[in-house]
A and B are shown apart, each in its own frame.
Chain A
Amino acid sequence: MRTIPAAIAVLMLAVLPIAAPWLQFVLTLAIAKGFAALGVAVLLRAGLISIGHAMFFAASAYGVAFLARAGINDLGLLLILSVLAGALAGAVAGSFLVRYRAIFFAMLNLAVSMVFYALCAKLYGVTGGTDGMPVPVPAVFGIVFAEPVFKSVLFYLSLALMVLVGLAVQRYLNSPLGHALSAVNTNEIRLEYLGIPVWAVLLIAYVISAALAGLGGAIAGFAIGRVVPDFAFWTASGHLVLIAVLGGIGGVPGAFIGALFLELLHSAAVTVTDSWNLIVGMTLIIVIMFMPQGVYGLFARKEASSL
């Protein structure tokens, strides 16, 4: 049964920061990136690679910073509004991007995200330019915690959201809409002849993926305490694709497994060498060559063979 290993994994994640407190920040950031990578993975099901989803990640983080500046100081409200901001940005960008396929889709996402990056970096008076904007510690149900306590609350909230949102996304992928999304990758003509509007299937997926990236961005903003234009830089988008591929797009856990794997690998690699990118790059090559289903594929295969 899948529930038991998943529950054990979540439980292990929950106790890890108790054993090694320095891991709390790494894990929070990994979960935040996992949400955004899940958004990328949703689109990958339709065969669409977005090299621009860091834009939604950054847009929500900036959204949180602006809302906090405007006086909204409740964590729950800020998270909800940040997801809505991501979804809204996704609806606007997706309304024309979902008309494109393959390299055109990837490049247009990249282009739009780089326009957004440039605006964040250049509009110094509004966004603080490359210095970015602070994301203050918000209240949780009216209680303002000291920063270390808030970071713990944020970690456990992120963990809970990972489970709940993961289940919701799994339900979406199992629905007719989710199956239609996978079908886009294989036969758009048949979908149209079934009376299913391909553009609507893709737009819904795009909005969901942007909202997921937005949720991740808001959590990252709170965890780091600052949002900078680099959140939206194209390498950050590439990083999300890397996580999605590394984890595997065969199931929802893949994105989070990929994010945790990469963040932990990164944390370990930087202690060994300055050329940590070399280690990360070689790991990716190994995964692509020997684990086409990603790291999650290892678990999924083991489960299938044990049936």
Chain B
Amino acid sequence: MTRPILEAKGLHVAFNGVKAADDVSIAIHDGEFLAIIGPNGSGKTTLLNICTGYIRPRSGSVLLDGHDITRLSPRAIARRGVARAFQIPQLFSAQRVIDNMMLALAATDGLWSAVRPLETATRRDEAKALLDLVGLAGDADRISSALPEGHRKLLDIAVALALKPRLLLLDEPTSGVSALERFPLMEALMSALRQRGITALFVEHDMDVVARYASRVLVWNAGNIMAQGRPDEVFSNAQVRQRVVGVA
């Protein structure tokens, strides 16, 4: 096994007495595509919030490449190569789709040295290539708030990819995406991740997507890890089938 790119150790988080993480430790290794599944409200998104510095655990630590990032801000963690796509897309809704992309690309180009216009030919081409990847090339010049929810979700993922991350955290990447678009999106996403050597952790409710694309599955329930392993191992676990997948 390769060394962990991200490691969470002994995490404790509670909201109004409800435990979202109760002495949880997880690790994700280079090249993995780790899926986290579990009932609503079990603390899956909280884990992503902790790993990206949005909330701080009561105790425990998060290590990125062995360095403690528990107390760092989302900005500092993003600059260390961790990008995130959200359950509810986080976009610059008043700006064009292409501007959302180009601003993300500019952030990696070194924003402070950029006295040139945001829109350069190179940046526009790069942005269009990523939009093409998620099937939004035709929407480049639309205002992002005018996009349907599923397309906003795709744009959120494309923005995260534009940051050229080493680790990508995806919160329900296929929710809001139509059934017809779901698997083509995942195929394109997986291809992009492999090509670019991006490790990914994704929270997902669609078990078909998890079964087909995850290299490892972690089952989160009431702030604890109920089970983890290869998809076939996890989905054959009777307890997981009963409590999480909904099949007895």
Interface set of A (CB-CB < 8 Å, partner B):
171, 174-180, 182-183, 185-187, 189-190, 192-197
Contact = CB atoms under 8 A, between A and B. Distances in A.
Residue from A171, A174, A192 having most chain B Cβ neighbours under 10 A: A192
Interface in B177-196: none
Contacts of B95: 179, 182-183, 186
A183 B103 CA distance: 9
Contacts of B111: 176-177, 180, 196
A193 B116 CA distance: 23
Contact of B117 (A174, A182, A186, A196): A174
B56 to A, nearest CB: 15
Given A175-B118, A189-B90, 10 more contacts: A176-B103, A176-B109, A179-B99, A179-B102, A179-B106, A183-B92, A183-B103, A186-B93, A195-B75, A195-B108
Contact of B118 (A179, A193, A196): A179
Interface in B60-82: 73-76, 78-79
Contacts, number: 80
Interface in B198-221: none
B226 to A, nearest CB: 29
B81 to A, nearest CB: 10
B244 to A, nearest CB: 29
**Binding site of A, secondary structure by majority: helix, strand, loop or mixed?**
helix
Contact of A180 (B52, B103, B108): B103
A182 B96 CA distance: 12
A12 B90 CA distance: 46
B104 A194 contact: yes
A89 to B, nearest CB: 23
Given A175-B118, A186-B92, A193 B99 contact: no
Contacts of A197: 75
6 contacts: A176-B114, A183-B103, A190-B90, A194-B104, A194-B159, A195-B108
Contacts of B52: 193
A302 to B, nearest CB: 21
B114 to A, nearest CB: 5
Contacts of B238: none
Nearest to A178: B118
Nearest to B103: A179
Interface residues of B, number: 32
Interface in B156-173: 159, 163
Contact of A195 (B102, B114, B163): B163
A194 B103 contact: yes
Residue from B74, B84, B99, B111 having most chain A Cβ neighbours under 10 A: B111
Interface in B23-74: 52, 73-74
Nearest to B83: A193
Given A171-B117, A176-B103, A193 B78 contact: yes
Contact of A194 (B99, B107, B115): B107
Contact of A175 (B75, B94, B117): B117
B91 interface: yes
A285 B42 CA distance: 52
A195 B79 contact: yes
B154 to A, nearest CB: 15
Contacts of B108: 195
B114 A177 contact: yes
Given A187-B90, A187-B92, A175 B74 contact: no
Contacts of B90: 187, 189-190, 193
A274 to B, nearest CB: 42
B118 A187 contact: no
B145 to A, nearest CB: 9
Contacts of B102: 176, 179
Residue from B75, B78, B102, B104 having most chain A Cβ neighbours under 10 A: B75
A174 B102 CA distance: 12
Q: What 3 pairs between A and B have smallest CB-CB spacing?
A: A176-B106, A195-B78, A190-B90
Contacts of A171: 115, 117
B37 to A, nearest CB: 24
Given A174-B118, A176-B118, A196 B107 contact: yes
Nearest to A180: B103
Contacts of B74: 189, 192-193
A171 to B, nearest CB: 7
Contacts of B79: 195
A189 B93 CA distance: 13
B25 to A, nearest CB: 25
B133 to A, nearest CB: 19
